[in-house]
Amino acid sequence: MKHIVFFLLGCFLVQFTGTAQQKTPESYLIEDIQMPEGLDAETGGIAFFPDGRLVACFTRGEVMTYSPETKEWKLFAEGLHEPLGLLVENNSEIIVIQRPELTRIRDTDHDGVADTYDKISDAFGISGNYHEFNYGPVKDRNGNYYIALNTASSGGGFRPNPRGELNLMGRDSTTGKKQMYAVVPYRGWVLKITPEGKTIPFASGFRSPNGIGFDDQENLFVTDNQSDWVETSTFSHVRQGQFYGHPASLVWDENLKGVNPFQIPVEKLDSMRTKPAVYFPHGIMANSPAQPLYLTKNNFGPFTGQFLVGEMNHERIVRVMLEKVKGEFQGACVPFYDKKGIHFGNNRLAFAPDGSLYIGQITHGWLGSKGLQRIVYTGTVPMDIEQMKLKKDGFELVFTKPVDVRSIREKSAYALRHYFYKYQKKPATEHIDKSNQSDIQEVKIRNIKISGDRKRVTLQLSELKAGYVYELKLNDVISADGTPLANNLICYTVNNLLP
C-alpha cells in the first residue's frame, strides 16, 4: 500500500514538473531533412545557391541539390573522389575540394546538371594513406581560396606511387607509429590558392583540420582534432607563415629545409608555435570539432559575431566566442545546441536564405551519423550565457536575459576548475586518443557582483593564471522569468591575462 502511495505521488510530481517546464517555449526547433532513397548520406559539404537551393556533396562522389520549397532532390554532379567541402560561386557554379584536387564544377548549358570539371589546384601531394582528407574551401574578398590538408594516419602506411615529392623525414622514424605524418607536400598545411591558380603554402602545424572559416573581418579560423601533439581539440586564428603545433608538416617548410621536424626539441617547437585561441576540452566539450560558421546576422538568436562549430562525437553544436586580449584572440566555448534531437556527426553548417541553419552529418567510420538536419530559431530569446569575458581578476558572464538573483548570488551556484593541456609528444606508452588535463584544481570564487540589470555577473577569483582553461559549471541557474539556463558548462582559454 505504501508503495502505491509513493508511486502515485511520483506520478503526480512528474506530471507537475512536466507542466511547469512546458511554460517556456523553445528557442530553437530541429527537424530532419528527408534524404533521397539510395543515397549514402555521408555529408562532405553543404552550401546554398543564391536562388535558395541547397547544394550538398557526399562521400560516394555525388553532388545533389535540394529545394527547401518543393523538398525535391536532384543530381548536380557525380563521380568525385571523397568530396569533403564545397563553396558556391553562383547559381550554376561550385568549387569542391576532393581527394585529388580543388575543382571548379559548372553547369554551362544551364540544364541543372554540371558539365565541366576544371582543376583549380592539385599542387599538393597524395601518399595514398587513407587519412589524407582535404577540407575547405573558403574564399577571401580578393578571390583567394583556402583549403586545409590532413596529415596521414600513423595507423596506416602509404602507397608505392605517391603523387608529389616523397620526403621520409615527414614521418618519425623512431616511434613513428604514434605520430601522424606528412611524407608528401603540404600535408598538415593550410594552402592559399590565388585567382590565377598559384598555390601558396600558408600555415603549418595541423593534424586533422576538418574545419575552416572566416569571420566578417577576414580573420581565418581553423579547428583541429585531438590526438598526438594536439592534447585536446583546438580552434585557431590562422595567419600566414605561422605554425600551429603538429610538427610533421614542418618538413615542407621552406625555411627548415633538411631539418627533421621530429628531432626539433619540444621546447623549441613550443616557442615556434602559435597557440590556439580556444581549446575544446576533450570528452567534455568536443572530441572532433568540424566546420566553424560565423554568425553575421542577428536573425539566429542573440549570438551575432560568434561562431558555431560542428562537433562529430557529441549530439551537439558548440558555440565559440572570442575577444582580443593583448592583441590576440582568445575566448570561450559552450554548447549551443545539445541533444534535444540533434544527431552525432555534425560536420558541415550553412545558413539557408530563410535564416535557418542546415547541418550536414557524416560518420565515415567514426562516431557520427548520416543525413541533414535543420534548426529554426523561433524568436524566443534563449536563457543562455551570451558572453564570458576576461577581467583583471576573474570573469564577467553576460546572460541573454536577466537572471534570477537568488539562483546566482551564492558560491554554490558555481563549480569552477582550471587545468591546462600540455604541449608534448605523446609518451610512447600512452594512446594518442587519450587526452590529459594537467594540474586540475578547483578555483575559489572570492566575490560575486551582479549588475543592476541582472544580466552581468562578475566573478572575482582567488587566482587567475595564463595558459589555463577555466571550466565553469553553473548549477540550477534560472532567468528572472523562471527559464532554466540552456547550457551550463563553459570553458574559457586564458592564453593571456589583461595588462
Out of 60, 391, 455, 465, which residue is the one contacting other proteins (CB under 8 A)?
60
439-468: contacts with other proteins (CB under 8 A): 440
Quick one: CA torsion of 343, 44, 82, 252, rounded to 10 degrees? -110
When asked if residue 73 is in the footprint of other proteins (CB under 8 A), the reply is yes
| Least Cβ distance, residue 410 to other proteins (angstroms) | 20
Nearest Cα to Cα of residue 187 among 139, 248, 257: 248
- Residue 155 vs 305, nearer CB to other proteins: 155
Q: Which amino acid is at 48?
A: F
Q: Does 313 bind other proteins (CB under 8 A)?
A: yes
Q: Read off the C-alpha cell for 372.
A: 541533414
**Contact flag: residue 155 with other proteins (CB under 8 A):** yes
CA distance 321 to 124: 33
Distance CA 138, CA 148 (A): 10
Say how far apart CA 395 and CA 416 lie, in whole Å: 11
**Torsion of the alpha carbons at 92, 97, 100 and 105, rounded to the nearest 10:** 0
Footprint of other proteins on residues 17-56 (CB under 8 A)?
Answer: 36-40
The residues facing 146 across adjacent strands are 138, 192
User: Binder to other proteins among 43, 54, 62, 186 (CB under 8 A)?
Assistant: 62
| Prior bond of 137 cis (ω within 30°) | yes
Show the site string, 107-126: x = touches other proteins by CB under 8 A, - = not. Answer: -------xxxxxx--x---x
**Number of CB atoms found within 10 A of residue 272's CB:** 18
Q: Would you tell me how many other CB atoms lie within 10 Å of the CB of residue 402?
A: 17
Provide the sign of the torsion angle of the four alpha carbons 450, 324, 221, 301, taken in this order: positive
Any contact of residue 425 with other proteins (CB under 8 A)?
A: no
Which residues in the 158-187 window bind other proteins by CB under 8 A? Answer: 158-159, 161-163
- Whether 203 and 241 have beta carbons less than 8 Å apart is answered as yes
Residue nearer to other proteins on the CB measure, 6 or 366: 366
Cβ at position 282, least distance to other proteins in Å: 7
The gap from C-alpha 78 to its chain's centroid, in whole angstroms, comes to 27
**Contact range with other proteins by CB under 8 A, out of 213-221, 268-276, 311-319, 403-411:** 311-319
Candidate list 72, 433, 476, 481; residue touching other proteins; CB under 8 A? 433
Q: Which of residues 338-367 bind other proteins (CB under 8 A)?
A: 344, 364-367
Q: Pick from 281, 302, 310, 360: which binds other proteins (CB under 8 A)?
A: 281
Q: Is 100 in the site for other proteins (CB under 8 A)?
A: yes
Choosing from 434, 444, 446, 449, the residue that interacts with other proteins (CB under 8 A) is: 434
Q: Which of 489, 492, 493, 495 binds other proteins (CB under 8 A)?
A: 489
Nearer to other proteins, 31 or 40 (CB): 40
CB burial readout 70-109, b (16+ within 10 A) else e: eeebeebbeebebbbbbbbeeebbbbbbbeebbbbbbbee
Q: Does the footprint of other proteins cover residue 101 (CB under 8 A)?
A: yes
Quick one: 119 or 340, whose CB is closer to other proteins?
119
Provide, rounded to whole angstroms, the least separation between the CB of residue 224 and other proteins.
17
- DSSP label at residue 364: T
Which CB sits closer to other proteins, 80 or 148?
80
CB-wise, 103 or 236, nearer to other proteins? Answer: 103
Closest CA to 313 of 285, 272, 340, 353: 285
Q: Which residues bind other proteins (CB under 8 A)?
A: 36-40, 59-62, 64, 73, 75, 78-82, 98-101, 103-104, 114-119, 122, 126, 128-130, 155-159, 161-163, 281-284, 287, 313-315, 344, 364-367, 417, 431-435, 437, 440, 471, 473, 489
